[in-house]
Amino acid sequence: MAWRLAIASTALSIATTLLLLKLSYTQSNLSSNLSEKSESGFYSAVWEFVGVAAVATPLFALSEWVDGLLVIHWRRWLTGHMLDAYYADRAYYRIMLCSLQGLDNPDQVQAKEGGGVVGGLMLRMCEDARSFASSSVALMVGLSRKLFYLAAFSGLLFSIAPRMMWFLLAYAAAGTAVTAAVFGRGLMRRTYEVLRREADLRFQLVRVREAAESVAFYSGEAREAGVSHARLAAAVHAALRRVAWEAGLALWVNAYSNTTLLVPSLLMAPAYFAGQVRFGDITQVSFTFQRIESALSFVVDNLAALSGLAAQTERLDELLRALVPRGDPGASVARGAARAGAVLELEGLSLWTPGGAQHLADGLDLSLGAGQSLLVMGPSGCGKSSLLRCIAGLWDEGSGTVRTLPRDSLFFLPQKPFMCLGSLRDQVTFPHVHTRGSATDLAALLAAAQLPDLLERSGGWKAEADWAQTLSIGEQQRVAFARLLYHRPGLAFLDEATSGLDAATEDAIYTALAATGASFVSVGHRPQLVQWHTHVLEAQGRGRWELRDAEEYLASRGRAASPQASGGGSMTLRRHTVSARLAT
């Protein structure tokens, strides 16, 4: 559609240019007949003018309308294309990882200093695509129209006043060269800076909105306001610098174009006084001169818009480049299908954090059979969630092999619950778009997830709310568990998915999970979780992990927690302290 509209816009540009050319002859006739006091000639020129104007007026309006449609259709295609690239191949996640490492913009320190250029780019993706589409269409249409003017009018001017044509060509070439050299790159840089600083400010405000409650609990307004004000100041500073450049450019453009105002009359006057040309020729030459002058001065007149377009193009290009997968970064984990009877196999798995700063697993071997379950334990930051990231295919840096069931038989409950935009039903069926099963089946899932009253409380399956803000973390974890039951995976992963729940609810949840017969892998800190698993994988530090049978693990813990052991003693002591405080 955009291509068809572009062709229509070009055809209309040609038609309107021809009409303008015709109009210049009509105007010339009008003025000449007036000055020669030829009444009949004057009125026939008037009718001619009315005829041309009657065709030209709707054509100009049609041309505007087609240009407007072109902007909208192109914008729709461009934004749709960028959204596809953003969601394809988990690019949104990859560029988040890259921006954390400051890789989004190889030649800049900006990524670290600005709070994530890619973060800002992502926020402005739709906005940038919209303004890119409108300004590029405006400039393209403007440029093509000027080229048609140039083609149509330069022959005319050459035939009437060749000296003037040469003057114009030389003048415009010099003007364009000076403008591009003095203002071009500088203005483009300033515009880019303004776009970037505005994106930084927006990024900060969105972050505060997302973490509003935490900021409020910390009474962190003053600090966050300080950061927002600093970013606003940076945006204003960038805008002031651009305005200064624009003022300089406006001064130059005015001087440049005003200089040419008198040229046609000055150059034509001697021939007119000598009776060699008619008066109408002077007006026609002035009209033609202005058309050609404006065509040749396209760069001078539109430098601000061109530099804005260049900055927008650069930003979109940066984002598109970030969305394209980089070449193979080197060693990466191999993947395959689990062999018969197994649901998860890790063979000699070595895992690094992205960028390779930390070694999280060193030659880990593990095999989990159907119906078995594994609890991953270890101190905070040892790499428990990262193991799941690697199994899910989010992280790849390392070596060894991961074999699992097919991706659609796996289901991950991440550490931070995610509530999508949409109804309560959407929360349970996410990421499915179409619901499987009846409302009663879904209600049974909520009941199994220990949320029997949520449906009624929320106002039905179609109720929409900001679920991430209105449900407690524990409730969000239970909704996520209902989601897991809905998808009935062969192998489920629960990353501290019950950390917000009391022990009784956690028990009920694991009972429901065990009843499904699915294999599952949990990440957790609480020792009482062990009872629900057949195996325990515990971090030993420096990337080493120990796999044990759950019973063996409990037996060893029992020995360690005997009254003689210091850990058991301190736990008892703490309980006494609490009850003493309560009694007081």
Ligand X SMILES: Nc1ncnc2c1ncn2[C@@H]1O[C@H](COP(=O)(O)OP(=O)(O)OP(=O)(O)O)[C@@H](O)[C@H]1O
Applying CB under 6 A, which residues contact ligand X? 97, 100, 353-355, 358, 360, 380-386, 415
- Indicate the residue among 98 and 484 with the shorter CB distance to ligand X: 98
Quick one: three-class SS letters along 252-288?
Answer: HHHHHHHHCCCHHHHHHHHHHHCCCCCHHHHHHHHHH
**CA pseudo-torsion sign 391, 396, 402, 407:** positive
- Indicate the residue among 242 and 384 with the shorter CB distance to ligand X: 384
Taking the alpha carbons at both ends of the chain, their separation in whole angstroms is 78
- Indicate the residue among 280 and 524 with the shorter CB distance to ligand X: 524
- Cα(392)–Cα(408) distance, rounded to whole angstroms? 11
- Indicate the residue among 384 and 487 with the shorter CB distance to ligand X: 384
CA proximity to 442, closest of 508, 486, 484 = 486
Least Cβ distance, residue 545 to ligand X (angstroms) = 11
The HSE-up count of residue 286 (CA atoms within 13 Å, CB side) is 14
Least Cβ distance, residue 477 to ligand X (angstroms) = 14
Least Cβ distance, residue 151 to ligand X (angstroms) = 57
Give whole-number Cα distances, 230 to 122, 197, 224, in Å. 21, 10, 10
Q: Is there a contact between 312 and 135 (Cβ–Cβ < 8 Å)? A: yes
Least Cβ distance, residue 124 to ligand X (angstroms) = 23
- Cα(263)–Cα(285) distance, rounded to whole angstroms? 10
Distance of CA 50 to the CA centre of its chain: 51
- Cα(444)–Cα(82) distance, rounded to whole angstroms? 40
- Indicate the residue among 256 and 520 with the shorter CB distance to ligand X: 520
Least Cβ distance, residue 351 to ligand X (angstroms) = 9
Least Cβ distance, residue 381 to ligand X (angstroms) = 4
Least Cβ distance, residue 99 to ligand X (angstroms) = 10
- Indicate the residue among 122 and 150 with the shorter CB distance to ligand X: 122
- Indicate the residue among 100 and 267 with the shorter CB distance to ligand X: 100
Report the SS3 class of residue 209. helix
- Indicate the residue among 20 and 521 with the shorter CB distance to ligand X: 521
Least Cβ distance, residue 539 to ligand X (angstroms) = 7
Q: Is there a contact between 53 and 24 (Cβ–Cβ < 8 Å)? A: no
The HSE-up count of residue 342 (CA atoms within 13 Å, CB side) is 14
